[in-house]
Amino acid sequence: MENKNSRSGLSAGAARTGVLVVAALAALALAVWWWKGRGGDGADGPAAAASAAPGASGPGRGGPGGGRFGRSGPQPVSVAAVQRRDLAVTVDAIGSIASANTAVVRAKVSGELKALYFKEGQPVKAGQALALIDPRPFEIARDQAQAALARDQAQLENARADLARYRDLVAKEAAPRQQLDTQQALVRQLEATVLSDKAAVANAALQLSYTRVTAPISGQAGLKQADLGNTVTPSDANGLLSIAQTQPAAVVFAVPDARLARIRQQLAGGQPLAVQAWDRERRQMLAEGRVASTDNAIDASTGTIKVKALFPNTDGGLFPNQFVNVRLQLDTLKDALVVPTAAVQRGAPGTFVYVVADGQVSLRRVQVLAADGDSTAVQAELRPGEQVVIDGADRLRDGGKAEVIRVPAGGASAPGGRGGRGRAPGAAVSAANAVSAAPVPASASAAAADAGERPRWMDRVPPEVAEKLKAMSPEERRAWFQQHRASAAAQ
């Protein structure tokens, strides 16, 4: 009985041992499969591309290929050629439109508003009639002043006639000298009265003219501030309306005080400084103008100085208090080495770019001279036509290998646009990893593009993702890769 129990226990132990061995072998096989998928055998798998997220490696970090696991395969990159051309030195700022002149039209006399001759929001010219205040009280005052003048003029004429008679009598010694002097004083008194009456008539005429309100400047009329039948006075805070002179229009913006010396030098030399006004999204240029003047003091709190530029604004597209993006061109670098701004890297070696030649990567230190949007002028040991990396530089190192991916340009779908709605994030990340891990020789891609064939690397992603990537422009495709590489690294 004991032997039988012993044999049963040995059989159960052997079974348990077998199960453990099978489980261990399965775990080992799974680990090997996972390691190959991660690129441990040197192949560029999708996970290997995901591991090469931005910031995961840098110059001199990682293995021969620059990857996290030291793989030796070439890294897929996008490149652009170095150019030698002129580059504008610009300063970007935010400014607001200000009218060259603004006038608040107020009534100069009190009275009932009888008529309005302008349309709100429409342009008006200097001297144009805008409104009419009841003129009747002022016409009566004018008539009264004229009547007083006529009366005093008649008295003056009579006094002058008496003075002439007294002179004859005094000359004949028929009248006393004192009477002549009294008459001369009376004449001078009446002459002063007539002068006062003439001034009163002129003042009454002036007050009458104020009942016809005219535009003091040319510009665009604002909204009316009084309605017909209201009694208006010169003390009204809002007046009748406001007029803004928008031709030319002024733009006031602030630039760093370090730029002041160059601006003043250009203005003193009579050289125009071109200024462009762009909309909020920097997609459409609204107007072009010139710098007119600068402020007389630097703002110590911000270290900037205000600059005023004038724009003809012949189309009336600029409105007072409108915010615009301003681009001020300070200078032009002649015959400069220009690289894409995306190619300029910053790290432990300083400021540098990666140059790819025959699949070999070399690091070149550069000195940035000026930047204008997507282009940057540099001083470096570069030659026009050399290829600098503009996407994929985070996985490179000096002396490493790189494979240039050439993809057809075109399409209008932006990264993250409608083409990607409703798709799981994991699928997009896997697609990005598969594409970035599938370098295609430049010659093969060019031949496929010329023949109208589908690039081979497009077969490694889902069909809907492949179509989306194919429709993108090179810039949009680079942004899409970078976004989903970062997403894959974060997971």
pLDDT in tens, 138-190: 999 999 999 999 999 999 999 999 889 888 888 888 878 888 889 899 999 99
Phi and psi at 41, nearest 5°, equal -90, 10
Three-state secondary structure readout of 49-76: HHHCCCCCCCCCCCCCCCCCCCCCCCEE
Q: Provide the b/e sequence for 451-488 (b: ≥16 CB within 10 Å).
A: eeeebebbebbeeebbebbbbbbbbbbbbbbbbbbbbb
pLDDT at residue 12 above 80?
no
Q: Where are the domains of the chain?
A: 89-100+242-332, 108-232, 405-491
Cβ atoms within 10 Å, residue 345:
20
CA-CA distances (angstroms) from residue 66 to 55, 70, 417? 12, 6, 32
Question: What homologous superfamily does CATH list for 89-100+242-332?
Answer: Efflux pump adaptor protein, beta barrel domain (2.40.30.170)
Kindly report the CA angle at 108 between 107 and 112, in degrees rounded to 5?
55
Instruction: Give the whole-number percent of the chain exceeding pLDDT 90.
Output: 25
Q: Of 156-170, 409-423, 475-489, where does the model show the most confidence?
A: 156-170
Q: Bin 178: left if φ > 0, else alpha if -120 < ψ < 50, else beta.
A: alpha
Stated pTM of the model: 0.52
- Which among 435, 383, 384, 377 is positioned nearest to 405, based on CA atoms? 435
Sign of CA dihedral 29, 30, 31, 35: positive
Range from 132-136, 317-321, 464-468, 475-479 carrying the lowest mean pLDDT: 464-468
CATH code of the domain made up of 108-232: 1.10.287.470
